[in-house]
């Protein structure tokens, strides 16, 4: 219920944002013809910009629920109001001169959103999605009326205001209806706002899991950029100037977001495509700024555009494997890049603008087809599965498929691999600087967007995604290279560098060379292709250095950039082929230097995603065969073994003991060093999945203790209980010497479905912490691999742990004599444990008092204490007394 409320809140926020923006635009439209509008242009622009951010938030949040039409509507309106708001800010600041400039600025965007929202409305009515359909149709009519009013004042602006008022009232009605539905606990239901039907529709849409519904927003953004240049060719606008930049750069920024979310949807090819088109939009917007620094239109680097066409062509071939229609659509961009290469003035000439018109029409058709197919039972044919059927007949090319298609190197990741885009950006950045640039007029050639956007911004993005997938070295290289491309691009090609050369620039480049030297050395242990890739980038840095000291030989810079570009292109093809087809059609090569040990031997620690039932079964099989594994819990990561396999328990015990010894060998002159060494022999704890596993031995437990366990579990509360004959009922056999002490055993039922399911499969497990004594708790599966990778058989990966500290440890060994104390207060606070004790007190008519253990009592307990080995070890006696001050003592009244 709580999750439903949160999702409905996001939906309501989106509707209220639409309502507020529509109200602003209605007021603005009514006062548009007045000498002094009610809302100043700058204020209106700022408010629309803020509301666009709210809509983007609502759209992204709902995109995780597969509510495709509402997501598309929110993000489309967000782009509209973001760009429209910036244009109004420019108008308010005097950048746009008169009605003519304002019309040339806003019309290209309004044309796009008139058609785009009309498509959304039509599909919404066909699919009976009434709310987004009404809103989209009204905004579409408002955009159309505004275009008509700008060209003929006889139309007036009242129709625009009326349409926005319809949107305002509709969105407000449904938003308030959702709020009332939950605030009244489903007692007040406004007509048409019954969420029972809405949730049923979402369940139907969840059957389309795996589809990338954000791709539809990306297609509308392609319409937007094509409209800016296409309207100039068709005579709708008079010129291309700075007032149209907000449309292009808003489309570029939002499409970058679509690229990231496409990686999250595990659609790497779509993400790469939207990354490419976003780079084109950044370049288009940058080129329209030329009048700020020069009178003549800029020129474009021909080699880059030819290479860009090749990249689009390769991507189109691979995209056609999924759907020939999508591959055909990408060919429009191949033609677009070729037309740009054939025209020295690029975006400003008729050839590319004609292709823009074709892209606008093709994008509109693709939007209609894919938006309709998202929910329709009878779909438009796209050829999906055709190429797959053809490839199934040959034995050479076999598509890589299955649930492990996007499995990362280290366990679970929410994102697909972005190396294809990373290598492609290296290709674009390197070939963009092959064209000679006049140092006196560096801005006359459009180089900055290719170097900064492609080589820098998107390289940083790819590095972040590589880190999320556990590729630490690759992510470090991408981030370093991205930072270098940004700094060098802005310095060398923005006019900051000029004709002078400086020692400071050379020192900075040398620092980057030193960092890259570490990367080159590290790639010796990765693969041959990565070694060559990083080594050739070193040649790029050398060319930068020689240029900085004005000592570069003629042609050296062009030669090394071409070499680096070709190496990057091979890596691009290799990543693309190897992620699409089984086998190594483009081999990346083995490590030049291979180490023994972690990652170097023939055996390697398995990394399995905790989100898959098959992974949990695999871990269970390993534990049944005497293995030791790292797993996630309701607190932090732990190291476990099956209690009925003494060899596995011994392995887990020795793994942590060896880890402690390695850690304590580090010089440590603190007074706690002896405590750390003594902790090496601390026993393991016992975990079960259900109290029914102890039912046969219930008569052996104190009734108060039994009810305390029943009330406390499952939870991050560990209970240290006296050892007894009940242990024999769990089949521990020879494992018992490692679990607990001769006097007591720490036992717990974790509040984690993955962990309890695993225990159901293998039986009770022996648990120890995955970190050395005294170190911080292990809160990520990568940390388990780093600390215990060569000592465990597998790691069940689930990303960051839900908590940063371990469980709360309660001592119940003296419960029969009336005492319960705290060894450590962890995730569960003291007050919550006391509340559980009070409930037990009421049932058994007993009371509890507050007192402090004596130092002797604490030292005695230290001899058989249990740090529930799901995290940090217990402190020394003095440390516990100073930390806890008092302990709660449970006394029975007879």
End-to-end CA distance of the chain: 45
Pair of tokens at residue 232 = 């100039």
Q: 511 falls in which pLDDT band (50, 70, 90)? A: very high
The pLDDT of residue 194 = 56
Taking 50 as the threshold, does the pLDDT of residue 583 lie above it?
yes
The pLDDT of residue 355 = 96
**How far, in Å, CA of 535 to CA of 479, rounded?**
16
What are 196-221's pLDDT values in tens digits?
A: 555 444 444 444 444 677 889 999 99
Average pLDDT of the residues in 89-107: 91
What DSSP line would sit under 339-378, residue for residue?
HHHH-TTGGGSHHHHHHHHHHHHHHHHHHHHHHHHTT-SS
Residue 242: exposure state from Cβ atoms within 10 A (0-12, 13-18, ≥19): middle
The pLDDT of residue 698 = 84
Pair of tokens at residue 508 = 């900075």
- Contact predicate 627/798, CB 8 Å: no
The DSSP call for residue 451 is I
Taking 80 as the threshold, does the pLDDT of residue 651 lie above it?
yes
Measured CA to CA in angstroms, residue 759 lies from 605, 645, 718, 748 at distances of 21, 13, 16, 12
Choose among 243, 208, 225, 230: nearest CA to 103. Answer: 243
Using DSSP, state whether 605 is helix, strand or coil. coil
Q: 111 falls in which pLDDT band (50, 70, 90)? A: very high
- Contact predicate 560/540, CB 8 Å: yes
Measured CA to CA in angstroms, residue 848 lies from 699, 883, 885 at distances of 24, 21, 17
Highest mean pLDDT (candidates 35-44, 380-389, 528-537, 610-619): 528-537
Q: How far is residue 80 CA from its own chain's centroid? A: 25
Is the pTM value of this prediction over 0.85? no
- The residue with greater pLDDT, 498 or 315, is 315
Using DSSP, state whether 640 is helix, strand or coil. strand
The pLDDT of residue 25 = 93
The pLDDT of residue 670 = 39
Pair of tokens at residue 438 = 């006049």
- Contact predicate 429/488, CB 8 Å: no
When the pLDDT of each residue in the chain is averaged and rounded to a whole number, the result is 81
Average pLDDT of the residues in 229-246: 93
The pLDDT of residue 470 = 76
The pLDDT of residue 144 = 94
Q: How far is residue 225 CA from its own chain's centroid? A: 26
The pLDDT of residue 231 = 95
The pLDDT of residue 598 = 41
Taking 70 as the threshold, does the pLDDT of residue 483 lie above it?
yes
For the beta carbon of residue 595, count every other beta carbon within 10 angstroms: 10
H-run or E-run covering 631: strand 629-631
Lowest-confidence segment of 438-442, 608-612, 642-646 by average pLDDT: 438-442
- Contact predicate 512/541, CB 8 Å: yes
- The residue with greater pLDDT, 886 or 490, is 490
Pair of tokens at residue 16 = 């209220």
- Contact predicate 626/645, CB 8 Å: yes
The pLDDT of residue 236 = 92
Taking 70 as the threshold, does the pLDDT of residue 857 lie above it?
no
In this structure, which topology does domain 606-657+682-842 adopt according to CATH? DHBP synthase (3.90.870)
Taking 70 as the threshold, does the pLDDT of residue 754 lie above it?
yes
Measured CA to CA in angstroms, residue 32 lies from 19, 29, 36, 101, 587 at distances of 20, 5, 8, 16, 63
The pLDDT of residue 661 = 55
What are 458-473's pLDDT values in tens digits?
A: 999 999 998 888 788 8
Q: At which residue do the structure tokens 């796009």 appear?
A: 112
**How far, in Å, CA of 106 to CA of 198, rounded?**
36
Taking 70 as the threshold, does the pLDDT of residue 774 lie above it?
no
**How far, in Å, CA of 251 to CA of 256, rounded?**
8
Highest mean pLDDT (candidates 293-302, 342-351, 699-708): 342-351
**How far, in Å, CA of 293 to CA of 289, rounded?**
8
**How far, in Å, CA of 504 to CA of 837, rounded?**
68
Taking 50 as the threshold, does the pLDDT of residue 569 lie above it?
yes
Q: 882 falls in which pLDDT band (50, 70, 90)? A: very low
- The residue with greater pLDDT, 474 or 729, is 474
What are 377-387's pLDDT values in tens digits?
A: 888 888 887 87
Measured CA to CA in angstroms, residue 353 lies from 240, 248, 297, 357, 736 at distances of 11, 14, 15, 6, 78
- The residue with greater pLDDT, 166 or 444, is 166
Taking 80 as the threshold, does the pLDDT of residue 884 lie above it?
no
**How far, in Å, CA of 627 to CA of 182, rounded?**
49
**How far, in Å, CA of 684 to CA of 494, rounded?**
63
For the beta carbon of residue 510, count every other beta carbon within 10 angstroms: 12
The DSSP call for residue 36 is S
Highest mean pLDDT (candidates 520-534, 542-556, 873-887): 520-534
Taking 50 as the threshold, does the pLDDT of residue 630 lie above it?
yes
Helices 68-92 and 98-126 meet at what angle, rounded to 10?
A: 170
- Contact predicate 260/271, CB 8 Å: yes
The pLDDT of residue 674 = 37
Residue 138: exposure state from Cβ atoms within 10 A (0-12, 13-18, ≥19): buried
Q: 292 falls in which pLDDT band (50, 70, 90)? A: confident
Measured CA to CA in angstroms, residue 657 lies from 311, 623, 679, 680 at distances of 53, 19, 9, 5
- The residue with greater pLDDT, 617 or 401, is 617
**How far, in Å, CA of 823 to CA of 345, rounded?**
75
What are 784-802's pLDDT values in tens digits?
A: 877 776 788 888 888 778 8
Pair of tokens at residue 536 = 């050739």
The pLDDT of residue 829 = 79
Q: How far is residue 865 CA from its own chain's centroid? A: 42
The pLDDT of residue 1 = 43
Taking 80 as the threshold, does the pLDDT of residue 106 lie above it?
yes
The pLDDT of residue 130 = 86
Q: How far is residue 339 CA from its own chain's centroid? A: 36
The pLDDT of residue 8 = 60
The pLDDT of residue 188 = 73
- Contact predicate 410/470, CB 8 Å: yes
Q: Tell me the torsion sign for CA atoms 147, 153, 155, 159.
A: positive
Q: Are strands 765-769 and 638-642 parallel, antiparallel or unpaired?
A: antiparallel
Cα within 13 Å of Cα(100), Cβ side: 5
């Amino acid at each position: 219920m709580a999750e439903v409320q949160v999702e409905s809140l996001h939906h309501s926020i989106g509707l209220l944002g639409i309502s507020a923006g529509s109200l602003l635009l209605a007021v603005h439209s009514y006062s548009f013809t007045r000498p002094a509008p009610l809302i100043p242009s700058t204020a209106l622009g700022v408010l629309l910009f803020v509301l666009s951010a709210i809509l983007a938030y609502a759209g992204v949040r709902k995109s995780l629920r597969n509510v495709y039409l509402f997501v598309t509507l929110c993000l489309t309106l967000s782009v509209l109001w973001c760009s429209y708001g910036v244009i109004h800010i420019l108008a308010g600041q005097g950048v746009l001169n008169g009605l003519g400039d304002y019309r040339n600025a806003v019309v290209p965007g309004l044309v796009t959103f008139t058609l785009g929202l009309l498509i959304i409305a039509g599909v919404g009515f066909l699919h009976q999605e009434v709310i987004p359909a009404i809103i989209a149709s009204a905004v579409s009519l408002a955009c159309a009326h505004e275009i008509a009013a700008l060209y003929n004042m006889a139309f007036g602006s009242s129709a625009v205001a009326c349409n926005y008022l319809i949107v305002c009232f509709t969105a407000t009605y449904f938003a308030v209806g959702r709020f009332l539905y939950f605030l009244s606990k489903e007692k007040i239901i406004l007509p048409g706002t019954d969420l029972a039907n809405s949730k049923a529709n979402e369940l139907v849409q969840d059957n389309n899991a795996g589809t990338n519904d954000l791709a539809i927003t990306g297609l509308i953004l392609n319409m937007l950029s094509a409209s800016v240049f296409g309207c100039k060719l068709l005579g709708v606008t008079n010129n291309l100037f700075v007032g149209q930049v907000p449309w292009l750069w808003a489309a570029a920024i939002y499409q970058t977001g679509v690229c990231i979310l496409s990686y999250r949807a595990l659609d790497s090819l779509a993400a790469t495509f939207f990354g490419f088109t976003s780079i084109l939009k950044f370049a288009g917007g940058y080129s329209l700024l030329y009048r700020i620094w020069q009178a003549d239109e800029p020129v474009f680097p021909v080699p880059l555009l030819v290479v860009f066409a090749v990249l689009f062509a390769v991507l189109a071939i691979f995209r056609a494997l999924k759907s020939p229609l999508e591959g055909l659509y990408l060919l429009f961009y191949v033609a677009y890049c070729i037309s740009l290469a054939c025209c020295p003035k690029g975006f400003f000439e008729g050839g590319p603008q004609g292709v823009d018109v074709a892209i606008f029409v093709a994008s509109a058709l693709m939007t209609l087809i894919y938006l309709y197919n998202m929910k329709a039972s009878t779909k438009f044919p796209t050829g999906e599965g055709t190429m797959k059927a053809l490839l199934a007949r040959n034995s050479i090319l076999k598509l890589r498929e299955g649930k492990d298609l996007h499995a990362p190197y280290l366990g679970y990741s929410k994102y697909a691999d972005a190396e294809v885009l990373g290598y492609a950006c290296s290709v674009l950045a390197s070939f963009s600087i092959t064209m000679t640039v006049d140092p006196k007029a560096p801005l006359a050639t459009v180089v900055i967007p290719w170097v900064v956007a492609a080589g820098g911004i998107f390289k940083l993005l790819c590095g972040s995604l590589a880190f999320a997938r556990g590729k630490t070295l690759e992510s470090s290289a991408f981030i370093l290279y991205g930072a270098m491309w940004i700094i060098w691009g802005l310095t060398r090609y923005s006019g900051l560098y000029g004709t002078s050369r400086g020692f400071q620039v050379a020192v900075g480049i040398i620092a980057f060379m030193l960092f890259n030297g570490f990367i080159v050395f590290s790639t010796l242990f990765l693969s041959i292709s990565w070694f060559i890739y990083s080594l050739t980038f070193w040649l790029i840095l050398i060319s930068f250095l020689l240029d900085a000291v004005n000592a570069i030989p003629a042609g050296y810079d062009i030669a090394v950039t071409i070499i680096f570009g070709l190496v990057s292109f091979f890596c691009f093809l290799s990543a693309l082929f190897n992620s699409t087809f089984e086998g190594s059609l483009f081999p990346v090569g083995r490590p030049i230097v291979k180490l023994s040990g972690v990652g170097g031997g023939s055996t390697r620690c398995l990394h399995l995603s905790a989100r898959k039932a098959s992974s949990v079964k695999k871990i269970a099989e390993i534990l049944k065969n005497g293995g030791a594994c790292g797993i996630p819990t309701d607190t932090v990561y732990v190291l476990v073994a099956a209690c009925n396999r003494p060899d596995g328990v011994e392995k887990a015990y020795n793994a942590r003991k060896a880890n402690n010894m390695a850690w304590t060998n580090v010089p440590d002159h603190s007074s706690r060093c002896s405590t750390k060494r003594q902790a090496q022999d601390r026993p393991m704890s016992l975990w079960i999945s259900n109290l029914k596993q102890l039912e046969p031995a219930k008569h052996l437990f104190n009734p108060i203790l039994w009810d305390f366990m029943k009330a406390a579990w499952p939870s991050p509360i560990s209970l240290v209980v006296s050892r007894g004959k009940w242990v024999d009922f769990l089949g521990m056999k020879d494992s018992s010497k490692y679990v607990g002490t001769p006097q007591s055993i720490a036992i717990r039922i974790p509040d984690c479905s993955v962990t309890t399911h695993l225990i159901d499969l293998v039986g009770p497990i022996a648990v120890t912490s995955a970190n050395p004594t005294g170190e911080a708790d292990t809160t990520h599966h990568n940390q388990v691999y780093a600390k215990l990778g060569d000592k465990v058989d597998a790691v069940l990966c689930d990303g960051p742990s839900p908590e940063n500290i371990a469980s709360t440890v309660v001592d119940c060994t003296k419960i029969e004599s009336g005492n319960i104390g705290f060894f450590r207060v962890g995730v569960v606070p003291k007050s919550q444990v006391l509340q559980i004790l009070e409930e037990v007190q009421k049932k058994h008519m007993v009371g509890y008092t507050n007192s402090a253990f004596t130092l002797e009592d604490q030292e005695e307990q230290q001899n058989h204490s249990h740090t529930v080995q799901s995290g940090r070890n217990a402190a020394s006696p003095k440390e516990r007394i100073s930390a806890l001050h008092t302990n709660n003592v449970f006394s029975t009244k007879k």
